[in-house]
Amino acid sequence: MSKFKVLVTDYEYETLQYEEEVLNEIDAEFLKAQCKTEEDVIEAAQGVDGLLVQYAPISKKVFAALPDLKVVARYGVGVDVVDLEAATEHGVAVVNVPDYCEDEVSDQAFALLMACARKTVLLNNDVKSGNWDFNVGKPIHRLRGSTLGIVGFGKIPRKLAEKAKVFGFEMLVYDPFVEQEVEEEYGVQLVELDELMKRSDYVSVHVPLNEHTKHLIGAEEFELMKESAFIINTARGAVLDEAALVTALDNGQLAGAGLDVTEEEPIAKDSPLLEMDNVIINPHVGWYSEEAQVELQTKAAQGVADVLTGKGAKYLVNQEVVID
């Protein structure tokens, strides 16, 4: 009989061999499901010691129904699908993988910025429709000397700042939790959000989604932006007020957007954003590379294994939890 039981609540990966390799080392029975609701999770996870979660909701109700649960690992950086307060209340460790895709997401943010700036997607589509006219992309402005505003300044946006510096951007940062020393280290200027929105030619969003950041950027912030400016979001869709973004784009308050994430995923088929030529939308792919996926799956499983074997969690999210 295995020492532990671990369930993958839901997944989109072609193989779970990396998790199996890690969990075999601690003699864990490895179960797999494709849960969509909290009821699905409760039914599938009875008696398990650990959960590996992609999108399934791990709510207060789930924690109450799973008394044997000791650890929840989220595939990814964000843990917005997990009720952290309930986890802590029930003595369940929550772990994530905060360092697996720093290059990938910063690359994606810069790729979207470049595509917006150079009108790459618009011009590609126009050529493929039978036209050959560079004027379709006007106006296009030089990147060097323009201003990039970065909202949030953790590991991923710091990577972005390093890459953008090579292209000659002036950089503004809004993050109330960073120290003044980062200005000199990364060649940025710390400002308040309103000033960043006013001055930036490109705004790249990099904050986690929580009660304080939901719709952090909404109608008031869009009104502050230059009509020539673009907004890039590779964080979470709901950090932007999507309805307000649509209105701002309709009103010409900004030039366009590059979105790797949307409030509803997949995006609703009737979303006005899908009809806008100045909006680029990707299907939440910023995290992905073959290398990052292997790292993600392995580290998530290792987080579960470490908690279950008493080694402690390298990436413990709810630091205040008391684990029996």
Report how far residue 190's alpha carbon sits from residue 271's, in angstroms, rounded to the nearest whole number: 35
Those residues whose C-beta lies under 8 Å from the C-beta of residue 261, and which sit 6 or more positions away, are: 233, 234, 235, 236, 237, 284, 286
Q: Is 197 exposed, middle or buried (0-12, 13-18, 19+ CB in 10 A)?
A: buried
DSSP assignment of 77-105: S--TTB-HHHHHHTT-EEE--TTSSHHHH
Q: Is 284 a catalytic residue?
A: yes
Nearest Cα residue to 75 out of 158, 153, 16, 21: 16
**Residue 172 per-residue DSSP state:** E
First to last CA, the chain: 22
DSSP assignment of 264-298: SSSPPTT-GGGG-TTEEE--S-TT--HHHHHHHHH
Annotated catalytic residue within 284, 290, 291, 320 = 284
Q: Is 142 a catalytic residue?
A: no
Annotated catalytic residue within 25, 39, 192, 265 = 265
Both tokens assigned to 155: 């590991």
Annotated catalytic residue within 102, 199, 236, 263 = 236
Report how far residue 210's alpha carbon sits from residue 216's, in angstroms, rounded to the nearest whole number: 10
| Phi, psi values for residue 321, rounded to 5° | -65, 145
Instruction: Give the catalytic positions in this structure.
Output: 236, 265, 284
